[in-house]
Amino acid sequence: MALNAEPTLDVGNTSPVSDEDRLRADIYNYLGLILAAPPDQLLIDQTIGLSGDDSEFGAAINTLSNIAKRTKPKAVASEFNKLFIGLGRGELLPYASYYLTGFLNEKPLALLRQDMVGLGLARSETVFEPEDNIASLMEMMGAIIVGRFGSPADIETQKTFFNKYIGPWARHFYSDLEAANSSVFYSGVATVGRIFMEIETEAFRMSAA
């Protein structure tokens, strides 16, 4: 797996899915996967294989790859538990409702569930986390971009979903994850996520020009 270019929005191509949009979807899918559960050795090895260019985002990718070289599954599982599970609760609560309202299972989650129906998205029967979990939202955005459950979404649909459910809080979450006391491997993941959110936010803003 290689991420050799800083992603941008291809606003002139809606179908078929452009290479640029597939790259964006790959990044969302990776973030969703790595934030959903502690990585096994295979995913750690794939992370080691990531490479970036000389952009700020590329540098973050390379830093994460280097951190992964020193990461073992048992250690990162302990880190994940401290960050997101803990005794009663983890160091962070990675949910849109919490970041936007201060409480879990609030209006942002209800609105998300309504919009998921229209987009052809549904929570897997094996997933018990609320749908506004950061990992789920990353996965949903990746699916929307490439049309994993239907036709690829146009830029306006992507922007609407991002601005409603990801843009208002995800960058703040990733900043918190970077600075979390228990964050080592996930600090590298967080830097990648934060910079990617900044790129996406600016790209969607520019698409309105």
Bridge partners (DSSP) listed for residue 95: 133
pLDDT-based confidence at residue 17 (cuts at 50, 70, 90): confident
| Number of CB atoms found within 10 A of residue 119's CB | 15
How many angstroms separate the CA atoms of 155 and 84, rounded? Answer: 32
Spatial neighbors of 135 by CB under 8 A, at least 6 apart, are: 31, 32, 33, 35, 36, 94, 129
- Note the pLDDT of residue 10: 44
Local structure of 174: helix, strand or coil: helix
pLDDT tens-digit series, residues 79-133: 999 999 987 789 999 999 999 999 998 999 999 999 998 888 877 777 678 999 9
pTM of the model: 0.90
pLDDT of residue 149: 80
**pLDDT tens, position by position, 134-155:** 999 999 999 999 998 888 999 9
Q: What is the per-residue burial (b if ≥16 Cβ within 10 Å, else e) of 152-184?
A: bbebebbbebbeebbbebbbebbebbbebebbe
**What pLDDT shows up at residue 15?**
53
- The helix/strand/coil state of 203 is helix
Give me the CATH code for the 19-207 domain, please.
1.10.3480.10
